[in-house]
């Protein structure tokens, strides 16, 4: 009976299961499209999300594309011409007032004709283009001509020297500071650059300064770097290769490590703002100070030490895209500035390392000339001598042999202005 009852119960359970099976199949058949539809909808959502992501990336990339400037190719070509082997820049861009101080030192009156005569001596020096690739002029000089009526711009071009122009309007005291300065001249700069380009200039210079004895304060560093970046962007927009020059003044008793620290901060800020302004690095030149102790520190470093510190700073801060580093002399003697440059070219550098000297090329020239027409040939020979010495230093082949005692005379001026 127990087995029979169990068998009957088992048969009833099987019968119920058979009755439910069609219902289960119907339910599964009904659910299958819903599940399939859910998967399909998921794929559509995923596809929409993928398309949206691609569109977002595409739009973001479109915003990042920078339109090439009208002068980009020309700027790069000009910068590389100036940064050519064995050549550097003759800086003859002293303002009329500063030029007057130079002329007064040799007993010559500061008149336009005397300024023109001296600058004619410089730009017409035979063979100058072998050692000089660019010449920075003051606005007056850019529009002057020789006594024979040939524009100075043409005198330079005939020797393969690129004409350049000083475009800043000079330093003025910074309010609420400890004797710091800021450089003026951004107002109307685009119009001036366009005019200079039309006259034949192909590069420009803007000098700002950093004074270690005055801090330097963050606001002074920021103003220096920002002003240089805005100028560089405007100059490039008008076809002029900008020389970027935040000069670290020699003034002070600080040691060489302090100079390194301040120079590093200054160039970090400068390149940050240059990048912010979308300046084309391949179309600029730099005019830094060499890293040396303060002029009143009582310490003189060897050329090897100056080279080590200076190149350390530059390698940490300057992208290799920049074509050339054209050092200012900053009041060093003719001999000292040449020896230091030579030391920096004993090993390969990622940029052309050369010179953009004013006093370190002209000091002996001016003393030789003395305002006398009869001394022009001798003065031009002195200019060729200094230009050749620095050309050899750019190539790392300068020895200092045969230098005169006057070449070692210091030219430092506290608070120097152009």
Give the CA distances from residue 236 to residues 73, 78, 223, 354, in Å, rounded to whole numbers and listed in that order: 11, 11, 20, 22
Six-digit token string for 401: 């042999």
154: number of CA atoms within 13 Å, CB side?
7
Please calculate the CA angle 359-363-214 and round it to the nearest 5 degrees: 35
3-state secondary structure the chain: CHHHHHHHHHHHHHHHHHHHHHHHHHHHHHHHHHHHHHHHHHHHHHHHHHHHHHHHHHHHHHHHCCCCCCCHHHHHHHHHHHCCCCCEEEEECCCHHHHHHHHHCCCCCCCHHHHHHHHHHHHCCCCHHHCEEEEEECHHHHCCECCCCCEHHHHHHCCCCEEEEECCCCEEECCCCCCCEEECCCCCHHHHHHHHHHHCCCEEEEEEEECHHHCCCHHHHHHHHHHHHHHHHHHHHCCCEEEEEEEECCCCCCCHHHHHHHHHHHHHHHHHHHHHCCCCHHHCEECCCCCCCCCCCCCCCCHHHHHHHHHHHHHHHCCCCCCEEEECCCCCCHHHHHHHHHHHCCCCCCCEEEEEECHHHHHHHHHHHCCCHHHHHHHHHHHHHHHHHHHHHHCCCCCCCCCCHHHHCCCCCCCCCC
The residues annotated with a catalytic role in the active site are: 245, 287
Six-digit token string for 2: 């127990």
Q: Are 226 and 273 in contact (CB under 8 A)?
A: yes
Strand partners, 164: 136, 203
């Amino acid at each position: 009976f127990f087995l029979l009852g169990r068998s009957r119960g088992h048969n009833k359970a099987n019968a119920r299961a058979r009755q439910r099976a069609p219902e289960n199949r119907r339910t599964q058949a009904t659910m299958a499209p819903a599940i399939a539809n859910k998967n399909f909808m998921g794929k559509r959502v995923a596809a929409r999300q993928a398309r949206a992501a691609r569109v977002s990336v595409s739009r973001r990339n479109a915003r990042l594309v920078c339109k090439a400037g009208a002068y980009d190719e020309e700027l790069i070509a000009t910068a590389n011409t100036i940064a050519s082997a064995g050549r550097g820049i003759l800086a003859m861009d002293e303002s009329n007032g500063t030029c007057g101080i130079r002329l007064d030192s040799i007993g010559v009156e500061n008149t336009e004709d005397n300024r023109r005569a001296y600058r004619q001596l410089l730009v017409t020096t035979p063979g100058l283009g072998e050692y000089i690739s660019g010449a920075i002029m003051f606005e007056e000089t850019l529009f002057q001509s020789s006594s024979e009526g040939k524009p100075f711009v043409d005198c330079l071009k005939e020797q393969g020297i690129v004409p350049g122009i000083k475009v800043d309007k000079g330093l003025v005291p910074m309010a609420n500071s400890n004797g710091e300065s800021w450089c003026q001249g951004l107002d109307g700069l685009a119009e001036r650059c366009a005019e200079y380009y039309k006259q034949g200039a192909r590069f420009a210079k803007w000098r700002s300064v950093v004074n270690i004895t005055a801090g330097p304060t963050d606001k002074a560093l920021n103003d220096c770097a920002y002003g240089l970046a805005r100028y560089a962007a405007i100059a490039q927009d008008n076809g002029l290769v900008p020389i970027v020059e935040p000069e670290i003044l020699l003034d002070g008793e600080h040691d060489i490590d302090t100079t390194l620290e301040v120079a590093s901060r200054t160039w970090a800020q400068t390149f940050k703002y240059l990048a912010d302004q979308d300046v084309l690095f391949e179309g600029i030149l730099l005019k830094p100070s060499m890293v040396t102790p303060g002029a009143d520190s009582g310490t003189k470093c060897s050329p090897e030490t100056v080279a080590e510190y200076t190149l350390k700073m530059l390698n940490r801060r300057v992208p290799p895209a920049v074509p050339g580093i054209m050092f200012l002399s900053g009041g060093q003697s003719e001999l000292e500035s040449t020896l230091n440059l030579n030391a920096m070219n004993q090993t390969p550098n990622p940029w052309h390392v050369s010179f953009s000297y004013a006093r370190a090329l002209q000091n002996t020239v001016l003393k030789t000339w003395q305002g006398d027409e009869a001394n022009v040939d001798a003065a031009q020979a002195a200019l060729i001598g200094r230009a050749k010495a620095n050309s050899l230093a750019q190539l790392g082949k300068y020895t200092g042999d045969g230098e005169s005692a006057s070449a070692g005379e210091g030219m430092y001026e506290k608070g120097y202005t152009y």
